[in-house]
Structures are given as C-alpha cells and as structure tokens.
Amino acid sequence: MRIALDAMGGDYAPAVTVEGAVEALSENDELSVILVGDEAEISRELRKKASTRLKISIKHASQTVEMDESPLTALRRKKDSSLRVAIDLVKVGEADAMVSAGNSGVVMATALHVLGKIPGIERPAIAAVMPTLKGRFILIDAGANVDCKPVHLHQFAVMGEAYARYIFNVESPKIGLLGIGEEDAKGNELTREAIKLLRNSHVNFIGNVEGKEVFAGEADVVVCDGFVGNIALKISEGLAEAITKMLKREISENAAGRIGYLFLKGALKNFKRKTDYSEYGGAPLLGINKPCIISHGRSTSKAIKNAIKVAGTLHSKNVLGIISKECNEGLSRREEVVVKE
Amino acid sequence: MRIALDAMGGDYAPAVTVEGAVEALSENDELSVILVGDEAEISRELRKKASTRLKISIKHASQTVEMDESPLTALRRKKDSSLRVAIDLVKVGEADAMVSAGNSGVVMATALHVLGKIPGIERPAIAAVMPTLKGRFILIDAGANVDCKPVHLHQFAVMGEAYARYIFNVESPKIGLLGIGEEDAKGNELTREAIKLLRNSHVNFIGNVEGKEVFAGEADVVVCDGFVGNIALKISEGLAEAITKMLKREISENAAGRIGYLFLKGALKNFKRKTDYSEYGGAPLLGINKPCIISHGRSTSKAIKNAIKVAGTLHSKNVLGIISKECNEGLSRREEVVVKE
C-alpha cells in the first residue's frame, strides 16, 4: 500500500510526520510512504531518522495550508500545497490513500473536490474514535456536516458500521443514535425522523444512547450530526484535560499528594495510554471515494504512525468498496461482500 | 422566603429531601420550607432529624410521579402528586418558590402549565452549572427545548446573564455561544443566525466558544439549544464518571497504586468536591413565572439544601422580574433595574 502523507500538516510538522512515517514503515513491510511538502525540510528531517532501506520517497510541494485558512481560499490559491498535492497523488493513482494532520476543513473540502464521493453516499463524514470503559466507540459524524437530514444520519450509521467491522474487527457492531432519552420519541426533529430509518435498516441498531452511556461502552458506533458530534468530541477533550489539570493541581498543593503521585505514576501512565487519541491515529473521512485520514493537529509521531496504518487497512480491506455496496444495495447483502485482503 | 419542596422527588426521597430541608433551615433564618408529599412518610423522616424550632411544615399529597412517566400522563392523572401540589402552592401564593429532584420533564411541563411564562419570554430553559478550571459556567439550555429558533438562544443568553449576575455575583458575565469554531460563520444554521442577534444585543457577548474552551472558563454563560446542551451535560457527566472508574481500576490493579491512593485521598476528595454538582444544588427553570428549581435525581441532602438556597435567592433578589424587564425593554436599561433585597 502506498500512502501519501502531508508532511507539512500539523503543529509539529515536518519533524513528527517524518518520524511517524519512518515508524510505520519499520513495522510494516507492505507499506510505502510518499512524504509530500518542502523537499529541503523533509530531507533534513529524514536524514536524522531514516535507514536507507525504507520504502520512502519525497514529493516536493511549494506551499503549506495554514491552520486557520478557509477551505475556499485554500482550494483557489494553494494548488501546490502539501495537502493538495498529497490528495492529487491519490487521484492520479500514484498513492492508494492519504493522511494529513493539517487544517481538517481544508482536507475535507479538497478531498471532496479532487476525489469526490463514494457513489450513493450523499455526505462524507468524519469518524472519530473515543475510549470507553470497555474499549472504544466510533463517533460519526465528528464535524464534517453541520446541518444534516435523516438520510445522512442513516448513511453515517452504515459507514460507521463498516469501519467498526473491518478496522476494529467488531463482528456485529451495535449502532446507537446520540440522543437525550431512551425512547424513540425523545430527541429533536432530525433524530426523531432518523430513528425511523435506522429502525428499518439492516444495521444492528440499539436506539437512542445518551451522553452518559457512551463512555460505558453501550454502543460501538454513535451516530449524530456533525455539529453535535464536534461539540461532543471537543467537550470530551476539554473535560479530560481539565480533570487532569485539576488533579495535578490538587496533588501538587499537598505534600502527601506528591508522595502519592510517585506511587501512582504507573497507574496514571496506563490510564493516559488508554484514553490517548494517538493510539487510534486519526479520523477517516468516510464517504470520500479514496481512503483519507485526518489526524489531530497536535499529532505525535505515534498518532501519525497509527493513522498511516489505518489508511493502509482501509485500502487493503477495501472498506470503501464495501460501504458503497452496502449503501447501494439496500444494506441487505452483507454476506455477499467479499473482503479484498 | 417560603419554599415548597417536592419531598417525594428524587432517587433517595423522602430521606434526603427532608434532611436537605432541615440543613437549609438551620443555616438560614429567613427561610421556611413546606414539605409536600406523603404525610406519614415525611413525618417519620422528620422525627429522625428536625428540631422543633425549625420553620417547617408538611402539605399532604397522595400521589408521586415516577421517573419515567410522560409529562402528558402526569399532567392528566397526577393532579395530587407531590410535584404538582408543590407547584400549586406557588401558584396560589402559599409559597414563593419550589424545588424538585423528581422527573425533570414533568416538572417543566407542570410548571409551564400551572405557573406560565415570564411575559416576553418565549421558551423557558434549564440553566445548569458546570465546573471549570477557574470556577464555573452556566449552561443554558441544558435540555428543555430540543428545537430552537435564533430568538430563543438570544433570550437564553439574557436569562443566563441575569442568573450569573445575581446568583453567582459576576459583575459583567461573559456570554459565549457553544459552537464548533471561533469565527461567526462557523456553526449550524441556528447558531449562525443567533450570533447576529447576540452581536447586536446588550449582553457581554464573546462569540462562539468551543467545547474545549468551556472547561478552561472562557465564558460565564454558555448558550445552546436544549438538545445540544443536554448532550454536552450528559457527555460531561458520563466522561467524568468513566475517568474516575478507569483511574480507580488502574490504582487497584497495582500495589504501588494502592499505596499511592492512601496518600492521594485528600487531593482526590478536594477534586471531587470542586467538580461535584451538588455544590450548585440544582438547575433553575429560567423563564417560568416563579422560581422553580430542578435538582438531580440522585441529589444528596447537600444538593437539596443548596437548591433551596438558590430558590430563596432567586426570589429575594427578584431575578425573574429583572429578566422580564430586560427582555421586554430591549436589554438596554440595566442600570435602572432595582434589585429587591
């Protein structure tokens, strides 16, 4: 699998992007990576880290997209940005998938413009992975579509299901609709209509799930519109950070606390690992015609490495082909789908 | 101030409701409480706890509302429920405010039906208090209105501002709109329209605030529709619980962790206190014509005590009168408002 990596995207690029690529390649022989961006900068980073045997190459791009740049401006004026060139490589068939930790709005708009949608999918969505007491759940849509129709939520469910099944190996993923009460009649106009579609679909739909239940691991896939999903995601990130800071403050204000912390270090480290977004690498733009992964702007090399792995698996298992098939054939012929290994 | 307390509402009623009333009265001479519900049960609890000098009385009600009962059913068939009778006492002027830890949907519907709205307010909203690194913020609407118009969000801002000003003594509360990006143009249809109204209003509006910023304490009041607000609230509760459980699990699986825990106990307790919803007592139904407070179903006596205190302050400071005045007079004459002490 050939992955195009936007080497200039993210807060710590190109150092961590190059490092992430090198780590991914050293763990998987079937991968090759094209680092896209400023050739001089990338070469310098690469010299620090890479062994010559790695299947890695550089594709020069003269521009970079800023984190606060609007999608429209970037599409018009940044035709030689690292992000755009990486996506173009997928378009012309020189890469199978692409990864960027850059401006997520621009990644989405550019991918949609250049690569288009999977036939049958009306709106691509961002699928984010979040930790639970039992493991993890997929939140879809985590921010791509702020105003949705019921049919969009239904398609998000189908895409999230395929992702849970083929990337996380959940046999029959439980799909929940993010809501404010268990009964079907509770919710807003959008969810009350969407729940009717979901009840009649072939996904394993468990009904509305409340915010309190998602972290208990009630559902494998939690469906919502992108406005609600992005708020849920950011609220969770913000709260987790705030709790960590508050705990640290309490501990450091207290002598016994400081001693306790020494003993607790191992447990806290384990805890951090389990709730660490970088374990999951990134969020695929499901519904785009080729595998595209958005990584967190603050991605570490580990997050980049894992995003490259997920991009490779999306391609090798033909997850997008499966999604297209399921959406177009009425979701009823799952058993006929042949997984391309 | 005379507070009508739904003594049968909540998971641990009437034990904790009676206890909370007794605690509130012992701290504030100006309060009196009417305990509404099953006279025999309440008397039994009261005998365990009360001193005879407290200004406490019992009003018998023969029914109770279940936690999963629909508002419509309760309104029709539970006309002698503790919740309904408590609200009726406010209606006829025998009480100044009411508190219930019962079914929040039924409290809202009954209060709206019996007491009506503040003139000028289109939709009453639930104002929940949440902790931040700096102190707290008010989330409004936390669940009363699932589908809102821009004007509703504007009114929520005005109501939340009055609450922050007169209950939490914030001089010029910063009002944020819960969103998915800083720019005014980011958001969904509802927030993009609402932000125009808020930019032209007289509240101290700071623009969109993201989920990550709310716990840093960027805004004193965070405005959103009730669907989004309820999800934000429940996600936060769920995540805080999950983090606590994960931490405990890590600690108990690890001998050093268990020793560390002994040292950390004080810090953890302090932390818990700062993030404990019971410190804030409850969530007022702002926009209802009389002070009504919904407490958490799992309220402790402390939460009930604090809810009674907030109900008393809403009345004594005439916060609802101020809200009505500000909404009806175009929000421009704050300086003329006389606070009734």
Query: Does A86 share its domain with A224?
Result: no
Query: Does B57 share its domain with B144?
Result: no
Query: Does B41 share its domain with B131?
Result: no
Nearest Cβ partner of A266 from B188, B256, B271? B256
Cβ separation B235–A187 shorter than 8 A: no
CATH number of A44's domain? 3.40.718.10
Query: Which one of A265, A282, A299 terminates a domain?
Result: A282
CA distances from B56 to B25, B50, B90, B292 (A): 8, 9, 16, 19
Query: Does A148 share its domain with A245?
Result: yes
Nearest Cβ partner of A250 from B133, B254, B270? B270
pLDDT in tens, chain A (341 residues): 999 999 999 999 999 999 999 999 999 999 999 999 999 999 999 998 866 678 999 999 999 999 889 899 999 999 999 999 999 999 999 999 999 999 988 999 999 999 999 988 999 999 998 888 888 999 999 999 999 999 999 999 999 999 999 889 999 999 999 999 888 888 999 999 999 999 999 899 999 999 889 999 999 999 999 999 999 999 988 888 888 787 777 777 777 667 767 666 666 666 666 666 666 778 999 999 999 999 988 889 999 999 999 999 999 999 999 888 887 765 443 334 334 33
Query: Does A297 share its domain with A234?
Result: no
Query: Does A158 share its domain with A59?
Result: no
Statement: residue B126 has pLDDT above 90: yes
Average pLDDT over residues B103-131: 92
Token reading at B98: 């009411």
Cβ separation B266–A274 shorter than 8 A: no
Query: Does A1 share its domain with A115?
Result: yes
Quick check: A162 and A170 in contact, CB under 8 A?
no
Query: Does B62 share its domain with B28?
Result: yes
Q: For residue A30, give its domain range.
A: 1-121+287-341
Q: Which residues pair with B113 in a beta bridge?
A: none
Cβ separation B264–A268 shorter than 8 A: no
Domain for residue B315, yes or no?
A: no
* Three-class DSSP category at A123: coil
Statement: residue B207 has pLDDT above 90: yes
Domain count for chain B: 2
Domain for residue B306, yes or no?
A: no
Domain for residue B324, yes or no?
A: no
Quick check: A88 and A13 in contact, CB under 8 A?
no
Q: H/E element holding A74? A: helix A71-77
Query: Does A165 share its domain with A231?
Result: yes
Domain for residue B20, yes or no?
A: yes
- Chain centroid to CA A35: how far? 20
Cβ separation A233–B214 shorter than 8 A: no
Q: Calculate the CA dihedral of residues B269, B273, B278, B279 and round it to 10 degrees.
A: 150
* Three-class DSSP category at B225: coil
**What is the rounded distance in angstroms from the CA atom of residue B179 to the CA atom of residue A47?**
43
Q: Which residues pair with A5 in a beta bridge?
A: A35, A99
Quick check: A210 and A180 in contact, CB under 8 A?
yes
Q: Average pLDDT, whole number, for chain B?
A: 88
